[in-house]
Structure 1
């Protein structure tokens, strides 16, 4: 390493160490067992209540309201799995993994498969070659991805801004299928346990729905529940990085890599609840094991620190964040649409 490179690394490493020290001194890395106990108990109570209401309602169109409630509950359970995967709840890995695996089973997805990909995303957010969240065949997040599309995927990339939200309705199904595929191929740890949990989830879920509801209503219930859950999950994660700068080659230092590729969403406690704390994406990426309720307190510290060190800090409203996503997708598809128009002219 050259002298200048070594100096730069030391300087940027020192910047993050200073920020980490400030956050730690504020007590924002201590565990919040009481918060998570109430959060988990509340989620489980609503989940149980929804299924009790489902049983009492019987074969009624009001069940579609239960499907919507379950979509919200499933997302909230998945947020707990996310926090467990980052060791936000307990200090050690094992109890977090146990809690995460159980929550994965409750919503029918493989916790081990998901957190493996999510950790790779955290290591290289918005990196064109290394971030699995940019590797979505139906979408093009960079100009290079758009250029290599062909056939039906090229058509989808051209119109991806219009198709984005409709595609999110399939995200719940994708989480189920991808987890099952990973378990079947032996790509996850605790394969037998997760396989048993996912099998039990699918059997019990479908048995309950088709035994209580008429066939047509049962299918509609499943479609609405899974579609709304998929949209909720997609709308919670999409604003965080999509439309932010992408990276190639050698990444920047850790501090800038996490801040420059992430976007915060403004809002109060309702936004914190709805997005599971993911609205503080910059703080979450800088301190992945920080308990969720501390992120809002870390935000002013991090924003001030970035301003003092000349680091761009992105924060916008929820609606504007979706506009950023759609505008970026529209821009990436523009060359494909222009090429087609040129060929037909």
Structure 2
């Protein structure tokens, strides 16, 4: 079962949790007070690079005569779209660069190159997901309404199809997110007129995206319209697959814990920090892969500080790992392949009813609970040291404290 008492699960006292929160607030304060010209130059360089790569890719697609050249152009265009989606659009929409007071690079004004309107995404993602991260029944990003990713979500016959649904979601990720965001926005509105207005906004954005990629650019290519159309389809598919892998590896591998609504009752800001640390997962990446992923390989750091500039996450991560070691908390990370294979295992396994699964809801590898912690301690006994200091976290493995 999901975690209902985060302090009991981690064996941290009220004093411990408040001390951890104070240290995290100190990290945040140090970053915000040091933001300046170098950070502003970073995002401006990133935008310039992305736009230059987009133009170069489209010129390559148009001018080349070889299959290799067409593949190169389509791949470069897919990379440009991925950079715009994650390192630029996603992070700007989080308000990471609002401190610059640049009207172009501001969360209220940036419209990303994705199917759904960024305004609808901001509510679904910035509020519903980041505020209620991994709370079952509150965070609709837990499986996006089409996948069962924890046993706390009741099994239904339609879940038998989720391996196929997973493939379809991966290939059409931007479209799935657009519909998901529309549902979240409509869910909070009170009138039919407001819901209709939201639907019209989505239709306008979809029409704009389809017209740009599948009508305008092919038309501008003249007799080579088929080549341009194919390259645009390929680039969007590559972007969808990459965004899907990055997002899923940050939220659904073993170690990205889930929580019940009871955890939200009287939750303090300090406990919110702790829930973010336990509910996200990283994957190891070098500078290039980190850039291409929008620095979302540092998903733990992003959930702790979603509005801090992404170029700071790599340095922040060393401080967060030190805090996890100090307070004996997990720092869930691993290779990209490992995190994705763990995610796939959960998706395929939970397509089946619980009666066909070997583990119970309290000892399944993808699910943590206070009951699991208590059972492990009762089995292992004591050695004269406090329970929360016995089982150390290893950053390269998914090893939750206390043997979970």
Deviation, structure 1 residue 290: 1.4
Partner of 1:36: 43
Separation in 2, partners of 1:102, 1:59: 36
Q: Is the 8 A contact 1:90 1:96 kept in 2?
A: no
What is the DSSP-based 3-state SS (H/G/I as helix, E as strand, rest coil) of the residue aligned with 1:132? Answer: coil
Alignment partner of 1:275 is 2:293:
yes
The within-5 A match list for 1:6-17 is 12-17=17-22
Return closer, same or farther for 1:25/1:216 CA change in 2, 3 Å cut-off: closer
Return closer, same or farther for 1:92/1:249 CA change in 2, 3 Å cut-off: farther
What is the DSSP-based 3-state SS (H/G/I as helix, E as strand, rest coil) of the residue aligned with 2:262? Answer: coil
Return closer, same or farther for 1:70/1:286 CA change in 2, 3 Å cut-off: same
TM-score norm. by structure 1 comes to: 0.80
From 185, 205, 216, the counterpart of 2:213: 205
1:72-104 Cα shifts (integer Å, max 9, x gaps): 211110121111122211217883775675441
From 20, 26, 46, the counterpart of 2:25: 20
Partner of 1:51: 58
From 255, 259, 262, the counterpart of 1:247: 259
Separation in 2, partners of 1:59, 1:41: 28
Separation in 2, partners of 1:177, 1:218: 27
Q: Is the 8 A contact 2:120 2:182 kept in 1?
A: no
1:182-212 Cα shifts (integer Å, max 9, x gaps): 7983239xx87x8766544432322234423
The within-5 A match list for 1:1-345 is 12-25=17-30, 30-31=35-36, 32-57=39-64, 62-79=69-86, 80-91=88-99, 95=103, 98=106, 101-104=109-112, 106-119=113-126, 120-147=128-155, 149-150=156-157, 153-157=158-162, 160=163, 164-165=166-167, 167-175=169-177, 185-187=196-198, 199-211=207-219, 212=221, 220-243=230-253, 244-251=256-263, 253-335=271-353, 338=356
Q: Structure 1: 5+ residue runs without aligned partners?
A: 340-345
Partner of 2:379: none
Q: Structure 2: 5+ residue runs without aligned partners?
A: 1-6, 186-193, 358-404
Q: Is the 8 A contact 1:71 1:229 kept in 2?
A: yes
- After TM superposition, the structure 1 stretch with the greater mean CA deviation from structure 2, 29-38 or 138-147, is 138-147
Q: Is the 8 A contact 2:61 2:228 kept in 1?
A: no
Separation in 1, partners of 2:70, 2:159: 39
What is the DSSP-based 3-state SS (H/G/I as helix, E as strand, rest coil) of the residue aligned with 2:17? Answer: helix
Separation in 2, partners of 1:324, 1:93: 41
Deviation, structure 1 residue 50: 1.9
Q: Is the 8 A contact 1:141 1:329 kept in 2?
A: yes
Partner of 1:342: none
- After TM superposition, the structure 1 stretch with the greater mean CA deviation from structure 2, 91-100 or 275-284, is 91-100
Return closer, same or farther for 1:198/1:101 CA change in 2, 3 Å cut-off: farther
1:32-55 Cα shifts (integer Å, max 9, x gaps): 101101111110111122223333
Deviation, structure 1 residue 229: 1.6
Q: Is the 8 A contact 1:23 1:301 kept in 2?
A: no
Deviation, structure 1 residue 9: 5.9
TM-score norm. by structure 2 comes to: 0.69
Higher helix proportion, which one?
Answer: 1
Separation in 2, partners of 1:220, 1:124: 40
Deviation, structure 1 residue 284: 1.1
Separation in 2, partners of 1:29, 1:175: 34
What is the DSSP-based 3-state SS (H/G/I as helix, E as strand, rest coil) of the residue aligned with 1:333? Answer: coil
Query: How many residues get paired?
Result: 325
Separation in 1, partners of 2:103, 2:330: 37
